[in-house]
Structure 1
């Protein structure tokens, strides 16, 4: 079982992707699965018929200076090694080896560098959701989830093509990981040492980015009031912030509950 010890991004309203990957984007639908959410692998316009409002346009590759240096997740040793191994493979930087053994008492912090954001306009999304109706005669299973308010739509994603790693022991002392990392990564990956004994890994041909965090809106179903039950007009939908959720995929590792300040999350 693995554990996240601290998610600095929660302070900025971002939820974690359990194992970062490329194929996550704004307007994607998510559905609730226990305490987690999973991707429907379709966008919100597939479920809703467009009526009065157009689907929001995705604004890509925006700089996010407000979280510079704060895009960090602190793991226990087991989760940190797992996350590092995953990132090396996804960013085509190399493979983890036995040389990267981390003591079970250590903490591993991964900080994402060169962070960019893709997003949609919240007012435009609100207008689209509140003025649209579900497609008739299709997607009955997910329409039930919609009526149960168990669907979310992604509004913002954070992505990165490089990251830094720091390790500290049980006493809080920084552990030098440069030698171990250099023995793992491929030749086309630059490894630069930081002042806190951590290292930053950057691919020379950084054409791959992974999504590691997201914001989402939960779609709330407002049923007809009893005095409108005989009117033809259907019930409407609205959106609220979806926080404290973790996006998982089938290949993700097992989860355990953890406390992030006042929120309980799984990873």
Structure 2
């Protein structure tokens, strides 16, 4: 089993509350600065009331190699609006002025963090109100570059596992993990085909044999029905590209998030 000791923090409290309610959670993803910094903040502030249990806030980067066309385009729109890493943290600070309970995880790539400086970034992220980090291109073999700085600030490093993470590799990944485990349910990029239910169930069972951390299932989850299914198999469903596409289209983003949350709650 993982030696990770859960901290008494927003993420731990939220997943404990979901377990007590007998339901899975909804993890939503939006990109800081997309479509504009002002509109992005409005959407961010509206997510908890719409039904988001945990929020992933994207840090825009010019080369988002794990992301599909929707999130790539969102990153370019945000960068075009002048959004930066500092601006992302300012967005989070503004969110925390009215919400100190909803867990927020910053998601992105290591290059901007490396340029900012690991120790300074961890300090600034914690001060802004972050609860953890998902760094797509920081594998467990390189996690020690940043993990001590994050832990010193009480921040979790949420690790990714995939369909190709076998029983030999899983323990190496999970020994670095905190907060929850993000199961990437498909091989490939975000926003593509959905995974088969049976395959996800088998993978989640295998992950749980190695850790007590909650498991959130993402990549390819785009409809209320899929979100309900994946939240039932795991401890939460992650929806990103579908929300980002709603933003790009100028659609009812919070209404869509509400439909996802409602479908998940019906499975409880």
**Normalised-by-shorter TM-score class:** under 0.3
- TM-score w.r.t. structure 1 length? 0.22
* Structure with the bigger percentage of strand: 1
